[in-house]
Amino acid sequence: ILNVEQSPQSLHVQEGDSTNFTCSFPSSNFYALHWYRWETAKSPEALFVMTLNGDEKKKGRISATLNTKEGYSYLYIKGSQPEDSATYLCAFLNDYKLSFGAGTTVTVRA
């Protein structure tokens, strides 16, 4: 069982503020790191698949960075909006298996 940790477990953000949170994963045998957004009553939605050390990916106001040598990834939300409220999951790919963290639940207050 691979240890994928996400912190914090939850956070509250004021609308318009920016925020970020962390995913840590084993630094050995790295293959890929996935980020998903999971809104209540919906399916998890893929945000990014990151494979290279130093990778930085962006989708609208959301971006992510990757450090495979130290085993962490940051996800950033710029200018948070109420529609960004969701649980953000990271998942470490190893041997065709995705090992998920428990997620960071973001609540954006208007």
Partner 1 sequence: DAGVTQSPTHLIKTRGQHVTLRCSPISGHKSVSWYQQVLGQGPQFIFQYYEKEERGRGNFPDRFSARQFPNYSSELNVNALLLGDSALYLCASSMGQGQNIQYFGAGTRLSVL
* Smallest distance, partner 1 to C-beta of residue 1, A: 6
AA identity, residue 60? G
Check binding of 103 to partner 1 (CB under 8 A): yes
> Counting contacts by CB under 8 A, is residue 69 touching partner 1?
no
- Torsions phi, psi for 86 (to 5 deg): -175, 175
In whole angstroms, what is the distance from residue 14 CA to residue 78 CA?
11
- Number of residues in contact with partner 1 under rule CB under 8 A: 26
| 16 strand-pairing partners | none
Q: Give the whole-angstrom CA distance, residue 35 versus residue 74.
A: 10
x/- letters, 15..54, toward partner 1 (CB under 8 A): ----------------xx-x-x-----xxxxx--x-x---
Residue 93 touches partner 1, criterion: CB under 8 A: yes
